[in-house]
Amino acid sequence: MVEKGEAMIYMEPEKQVMSRSADECVVALCDQWYLDYGEENWRTQADLCLQNMETFCDETRKNFEATLGWLKEHACSRTYGLGSRLPWDEQWLIESLSDSTIYMAYYTVCHLLQGNNVSGQGESPIGIRPEQMTREVWDYIFFKSAPFPKTTIPKEKLNKLKNEFEFWYPVDLRASGKDLVPNHLTYYLYNHVAMWPEDSGKWPVAVRANGHLLLNSEKMSKSTGNFLTLSQAIDKFSADGMRLALADAGDTVEDANFVEAMAEASILRLYTWVEWVKEMLANFDSLRSGPNCTFNDRVFESEINAGIFKTEQNYEKMMFKEALKTGFFEFQAAKDKYRELAIEGMHRDLVFRFIEIQTLLLTPICPHLCEYIWSLLGKTDSIMNASWPVAGPADEVLIRSSQYLTETAHDLRLRLKNYLAPAKGKKGDKQPPQKPSHCTIYVAKTYPTWQHITLSTLRKHYQANSGSLPDNKVIATELNSLPELKKYMKRVMPFVAMIKENLEKKGPRILDLELEFDEQAVILENLVYLTNSLDLDQIEVKFASEADDKIREECCPGKPYSVFRTEPGVPVYLVKPTALKWPLFHED
């Protein structure tokens, strides 16, 4: 129809487009050069490049795949603006998005061609002039199979350039905005595989796309006043306070949120950390020495090792918010827990190992403060020359047993609070009960029969369904058919709901019929801590099998049952007598 003059090609934007000069844009069909990104063989290689490339985020990978799916011809030239001349048609300039996709190859040799001059006007440290860098010279640098060119550049100098490129390439990481995935970053893949079709070792290794930055949960805008320049932020929050808040702002392609209140809290956290280090240095001799083999020593050491491993993984994945969580917030929480639970005192070696490792883990985010702490520890070399800490063995079962202790202590405090609450009755009759002096904690080796049967059924379904549980209706129908559970059905489904919730949080070990550690041993090792924290005279630990039916029904593995009581006692007061003076009497 076009050939017969019955139709014409018509194009228009999918929505209104306004230029930076506030003019409405229209589509014009002009003579143009196009890059055919949809070409089958080229597309296949781009797909292969993406398949082997790290994107750090599924959404980024899906955006790349979608772009490769629709991207066809791309207009790559124009008649005005910045850009290089098209070699075979110099009336055209190559537009910037098409011309800026392998420029990072130049970075590998620019220091030898222009020295430290960013403008490109500096003298070459090895004496090479710009006019000597012909196309054949560049081919020799960038392609292994290219012949040595006809050039006045000495071979040893040219080989130096080639060796630099071979050493630094490929690009291990390209960090950019998520809005550039549909254009620049996809061209980046296409043009690399076009330049080195037979050498996949030169293809990009990883692309990290990030979202935009919000300020206090709102888009930054000068017109609204919600705006903060980098220099203003550093003056207000310090470099390290700013870096800490930015790391905590977000990791994925979702928009990160820089919150000023978080930046202020970050400065306080860092200040508190420095002051605690100084306090430990001042109290060095008063810290416990000798073997570090108590329950809480072993837990703390395992938590340190686990923190190193998790934080290293998060840094490798460029998940800085998670790295901050595992390498600072959770690391500090482990220290605070150790300080609270270690009734016998914190061990000196563990405390200073913790300080050193904490400093190293935080260095990528807060280098200035960590350099200062490193000097406080008496290190003569810069922390920038220090090695990443090596994680020792982390006993996950031991760590979970410590979490159990924390949860048990919390549960005991709640039960004690409820015990001391006045009984409900008429006004004026509410008398608070007497403060208890003793407590008996009952622990169970096995679940009550009805819970045991329910858990066994859930385990069977979980294993049969490759790690998932069926609908509650299916579970209820099956459990309702079991005669052993008839009288417990009102309690069975709430128990199933609790197990399902914990399954998401803690994983399949929640379906185990027995605990992986000895509850009684954990409580006995920390009996002094529990007794002191509850302000009791004595706590005893017994097995639920020794108790009555009610306690046996209520008590299950991981959920001890406590009974408070007040036992009669006689108050004893210790008085330090005043020292007697000699002689006691004298004669006149």
Q: What is the CATH number of the domain that holds 77?
A: 3.40.50.620
For residue 500, tell me if it sits in a domain.
no
Number of Cβ within 10 Å of residue 314's Cβ equals 19
Co-location of 75 and 177 in the same domain: yes
Domain boundary among 366, 394, 422: 394
Co-location of 67 and 49 in the same domain: yes
Q: What is the pLDDT of residue 582?
A: 53
For residue 12, tell me if it sits in a domain.
no
- pLDDT tens, position by position, 155-204: 999 999 999 999 999 999 999 989 899 989 999 999 999 999 999 999 99
Strand-pair partners of 206: 54
Nearest Cα residue to 511 out of 501, 521, 520: 501
pLDDT class of 577 with cuts at 50, 70, 90: low
pLDDT class of 4 with cuts at 50, 70, 90: very high
Q: What is the CATH number of the domain that holds 233?
A: 1.10.730.10
Co-location of 48 and 173 in the same domain: yes
For residue 451, tell me if it sits in a domain.
no
For residue 146, tell me if it sits in a domain.
yes
- pLDDT tens, position by position, 106-124: 999 999 999 888 777 788 9
Co-location of 124 and 258 in the same domain: no
Over range 357-381, report the average pLDDT: 96
Residue with token string 């000597």: 132
Query: What are the CA-CA distances from residue 422 to residues 122, 413, 418, 430 (Å)?
Result: 84, 16, 9, 5
**Token code pair at residue 48:** 């292969």
List Cβ neighbours of 227 (8 Å cut-off, separation of 6 or more).
Answer: 215, 220, 221
Co-location of 167 and 247 in the same domain: no
List Cβ neighbours of 538 (8 Å cut-off, separation of 6 or more).
Answer: 437, 438, 439, 531
Nearest Cα residue to 397 out of 510, 316, 266, 302: 302
Co-location of 163 and 64 in the same domain: yes
| Crossing angle for the helix pair 184-195 and 40-51, to the nearest 10 degrees | 110
Over range 53-58, report the average pLDDT: 92
Strand-pair partners of 79: none
Helix, strand, coil distribution of the chain in percent, nearest 5: 50, 10, 40
Q: Angle at the Cα of 523 (from 521 to 524), degrees rounded to 5?
A: 65
Query: What are the CA-CA distances from residue 530 to residues 151, 293, 439, 443, 517 (Å)?
Result: 82, 20, 10, 15, 19
For residue 408, tell me if it sits in a domain.
no
For residue 163, tell me if it sits in a domain.
yes
Co-location of 70 and 196 in the same domain: yes
Co-location of 311 and 355 in the same domain: yes
Co-location of 206 and 226 in the same domain: no
Structural domain harbouring 79: 34-210
Concatenated DSSP letters for 519-534? HHHHHHHTHHHHHHHH
Domain boundary among 158, 181, 210: 210
For residue 384, tell me if it sits in a domain.
yes
pLDDT class of 586 with cuts at 50, 70, 90: low
Domain boundary among 169, 184, 210: 210
Co-location of 142 and 224 in the same domain: no
Q: In total, how many domains does the chain have?
A: 2
Is the whole-model pTM more than 0.75?
A: yes
Integer-rounded Cα radius of gyration of the chain: 35
Q: Angle at the Cα of 481 (from 475 to 482), degrees rounded to 5?
A: 100
For residue 152, tell me if it sits in a domain.
yes
- pLDDT tens, position by position, 542-575: 999 889 888 988 898 999 999 999 988 666 666 7
Q: Is the pLDDT of residue 583 over 70?
A: no
Phi-psi region of 94 (alpha: psi -120 to 50; beta: other; left: phi over 0): beta
Q: What is the DSSP letter of 434?
A: P
Nearest Cα residue to 566 out of 358, 398, 419: 419
Co-location of 179 and 249 in the same domain: no
Q: Is the pLDDT of residue 329 over 80?
A: yes
Co-location of 302 and 387 in the same domain: yes
Q: Check if the beta carbon of residue 461 is closer than 8 Å to that of residue 467.
A: no
